[in-house]
Amino acid sequence: MADAKQLHIAMFPWLAFGHMIPYFELAKRIAQKGHKISFISTSRNIQRLPKIPPNLSSQISFVSLTLPRQDNLPQDAEATNDLPLDKIPYLKIAYDNLQDSLAEFLQKSTPDWIIHDLIPYWLPPIAAKFGISSVFFSIVQALTLCFCGSSSTALINGEDPRTKPEDFTVPPKWVPFDTRVAFRLHEAKKFFDHYEMNDSGVTDIFRLGSVMAGSNVIAVKSCMEIESEWINLLGELFGKPVLPVGLLPPTANDSRDGKEDNIWLTINEWLGKQKSRTVIYVAFGSELNLSQNELTELALGLELSGLPFFWALRNRDGFEERVKGRGVVWTSWAPQLRILAHESVGAFLTHCGPLVMLPFFIDQGLIARVFADKKVGIEIPRNEEDGAYTMKSVAEALRLVIVEDEGRIYREKAKELRLLIADEELHDQYVYKFVEFLQNYRQVSDK
């Protein structure tokens, strides 16, 4: 589509770094195709995002909106990781109050498209009023959206036949193919909260249903190689084009003000002293705050495994001294892609694999089930009721995938998944097809 016009695309993610970072990765990939991006967030969040790569500085602009003051929100709290869980509904209220300033920007700049998140249920009508097409870009996979409800109307009107957490521990009746993917009871209890009214005055499920109904297109951070049946089902359930944009692995040129190389030299020196494929890399991102008990059992489990590990952990708990020499507890930013690519790293212990999986958030349990079925990882066993795990269960799972013969199949399958995740050409094709769709859609609708 060399003759297709350049697009101007606005992007408006929810105020969580687990959302903003994938949106920023997608923005960079769209900009690389020659299109203009207006990336909209609040001033403090923009300051904390990675810098725009120099080669894309003419294509991407940050648009800073002032987050309205909100009772019950601490000063300078502009993202979910600035807050305890019970305060996040008040952040949603402040975010909802951005609609006037966002509408003003959209009216003045008239982008061709706006790509937005699930929280701004009020956004699709505003975009339509100004003749702007909208994409709901989901950072969770298609299978999670299929689990949420059978249609936009059902989500908006609260017409879900499931009335208690136990109902979410089996696949929904509207899934027409055989699957064992479902929530554990402790996960279902947390997931059920999204159907309940919160202090923002709107349920999360109503928000989701409204953006699914009002947007022109649904995009998902996923690929057909992992969940083709779910992607196809999502389109059937919600009657919209559903486009996977690939897995959006972080690009290597993430700027850290020149500190990255010095940090990497220190880490690489330690990794280089370890045996091939023996190190466990542990990371749960910046959004997760483990309880003291969860942290202790995980730490003791790592120690009990007897295996070397590198743990990217933001809060110190005195564990560093105890494991000196065999394990590293790293309390600042770490170059994740470089660490995972090192030959000494044999397993990744994270929310949902590959190899060792300990899910905590909304969709991670479902993804962990999918990966377990594909034999690319095992879940650390947990109590079905409350999700508790022990140091023994942590240690046994780690030793199985790194040391034991019966873990060989997981190691081999995980290599295949790593190749898929690292396939830049494949993921680039997904973005290319996504952008091509947006261009064709505009051209058709302009006629």
The radius of gyration computed from the CA coordinates of the chain, to the nearest angstrom, equals 22
- How sure is the predictor about 354, in pLDDT bands with cuts at 50, 70 and 90? confident
Average pLDDT (60-85) is 93
96 belongs to a structural domain: yes
Tokens standing for 390?
């022990």
Residues 153 and 208 in one domain: yes
Confidence grade of residue 1 (pLDDT, cut at 50, 70, 90): very low
Q: Model-level pTM?
A: 0.90
Q: How many CA atoms lie within 13 A of 393 on its CB side?
A: 14
The H or E element containing residue 38 is strand 36-42
Would residue 344 count as lying in a domain? yes
Mean predicted confidence (pLDDT) in 281-302: 85
pLDDT digit string (tens) for 84-106?
Answer: 889 999 999 999 999 999 999 99
Query: What are 153-170's pLDDT values in tens digits?
Result: 999 999 999 999 999 999
Shared-domain flag, residues 267 and 367 = yes
Same domain, 69 and 200: yes
> Across all residues in the chain, what is the average pLDDT?
90
Question: Is 168 within the bounds of a domain?
Answer: yes
Same domain? 59 vs 204: yes
In a domain, 123, yes or no: yes
Q: Check the CA dihedral 148-152-157-159 and report its sign.
A: negative
Q: Answer yes or no: do 63 and 211 share one domain.
A: yes
Three-state DSSP at 426 gives helix
Which residues form the domain of 304?
Answer: 260-421
Kindly state whether residues 283 and 409 are assigned to the same domain: yes
Question: If you write DSSP's letter for every residue of 215-242 in order, what string do you get?
Answer: -SEEEES--HHHHHHHHHHHHHHHTS-E
Sheet holding 279-283, edge to edge: 327-330, 309-312, 279-283, 345-350, 355-357, 377-379
Asked whether residue 1 is domain-assigned, the answer is no
Q: What is the CATH number of the domain that holds 366?
A: 3.40.50.2000
Is the residue at 341 inside a domain?
yes
Domains: count for the chain: 2
Positions annotated as catalytic residues are 19, 117
pLDDT band at 255 (very low <50, low <70, confident <90, very high): very low
Taking only the tens place, the pLDDT of each residue in 384-396 is: 999 999 999 999 9
Amino acid (one-letter) located at 35: H
Does one domain contain both 93 and 170?
yes
Please choose, from the candidates 424, 437, 262, 350, the residue with its C-alpha nearest in 3D space to the C-alpha of residue 18. 350
User: What is d(CA 141, CA 341) in angstroms, rounded to the nearest whole number?
Assistant: 25
Here the tokens at position 310 are 């590198």
Q: How many angstroms separate the CA atoms of 362 and 194, rounded?
A: 9
What does the pLDDT read at residue 250?
A: 72
User: At a CB cut-off of 8 Å and minimum separation 6, what does 314 contact?
Assistant: 286, 331
Q: Let me know if residue 376 belongs to a domain.
A: yes
Average pLDDT over residues 25-46: 97
Q: What is the mean pLDDT of residues 404-421?
A: 88
Burial (CB count within 10 angstroms: exposed 0-12, middle 13-18, buried 19+), residue 365: buried
Locate tokens 């997931």: which residue? Answer: 191
Residues 93 and 135 both lie in one domain: yes
Q: Do both 327 and 238 map to the same domain?
A: no
**216 & 289 share domain:** no
366: Cα within 13 Å, side-chain hemisphere: 24
Residue with structure tokens 């003291």? 292
Beta bridge partners of 329: 311
Whether 69 and 206 share a structural domain: yes
Inform me whether the pLDDT recorded for 356 exceeds 60. yes
Task: Give the model's pLDDT for residue 421.
Answer: 82
Position 318 scores a pLDDT of 63
Question: Are residue 111 and residue 81 in the same domain, yes or no?
Answer: yes
Range 299-311 burial, b when 16+ CB lie within 10 A, else e: bbbbbbbebbbbb
Q: Is the pLDDT of residue 62 over 70?
A: yes
Q: Is 288 exposed, middle or buried (0-12, 13-18, 19+ CB in 10 A)?
A: middle
Asked whether residue 2 is domain-assigned, the answer is: no
Condensed to tens digits (0 to 9), the pLDDT of residues 367-385 reads 899 888 889 889 999 999 9
